[in-house]
C-alpha cells in the first residue's frame, strides 16, 4: 500500500532562512508524489509534483523537492523563507491504480518568525 510519512509535525524558521520539510514515502510501484500547501481558511494548493521525470522538481513560490529513490524521500525545500509561507504543508502520494486518488501525510505546520 502507498503511504507517506512527514517526519516533523511542526517546523519553525526565521524569515530569510532556508526551509526543509521532510517526507518519506512507501510504495511498491514507482510513485507519483506531490506537495500541497493549505493556508488558513483556504483550499489546498498544489506546490509541485514528481512523475518520474527529473528528480529535482521546481514548484511555485520558489519551492523545490528532490526525489531520492535510495532514501525513499521527497523533501521540500526553499532557500529563503517569507512570512507568507506560513501554512500547513502536505506530502502526498497518488494511488497507483488509475484513479487519481491521493493519499496525504499528516501535515507539517510551518511557522515563519520575523
Using CB under 8 A, list all residues that contact another protein: 32, 34, 36, 41-46, 49, 51, 90, 94-96, 98-107
Least separation in angstroms between CB 16 and another protein:
28
Distant-in-sequence, close-in-space partners of 96: CB < 8 Å, separation ≥ 6? 2, 27, 28, 29, 31
For residues 100 and 114, which CB has a smaller minimum distance to another protein in the complex? 100
Least separation in angstroms between CB 87 and another protein:
14
CA nearest to 73, candidates 26, 29, 28 = 26
For residues 20 and 46, which CB has a smaller minimum distance to another protein in the complex? 46
Least separation in angstroms between CB 69 and another protein:
18
Least separation in angstroms between CB 18 and another protein:
24
Burial 26-53 (b: 16+ CB within 10 A, else e): ebeeebbbbbbbeeeeeeeeebbbbeee
> Which DSSP letter does residue 44 get?
E
For residues 2 and 73, which CB has a smaller minimum distance to another protein in the complex? 2
Amino acid at each position: 500500500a502507498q503511504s507517506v510519512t512527514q517526519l516533523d509535525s511542526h517546523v519553525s524558521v526565521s524569515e530569510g532562512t532556508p526551509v526543509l520539510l521532510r517526507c518519506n514515502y512507501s510504495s511498491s510501484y514507482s510513485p507519483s508524489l506531490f506537495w500541497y500547501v493549505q493556508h488558513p481558511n483556504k483550499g489546498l494548493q498544489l506546490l509541485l509534483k514528481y512523475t518520474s521525470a527529473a528528480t529535482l522538481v521546481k514548484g511555485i513560490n520558489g519551492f523545490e523537492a528532490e526525489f531520492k529513490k535510495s532514501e525513499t524521500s521527497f523533501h521540500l525545500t526553499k532557500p529563503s523563507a517569507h512570512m507568507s509561507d506560513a501554512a500547513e504543508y502536505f506530502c502526498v502520494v497518488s494511488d497507483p491504480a488509475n484513479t487519481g486518488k491521493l493519499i496525504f501525510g499528516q501535515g507539517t505546520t510551518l511557522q515563519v518568525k520575523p
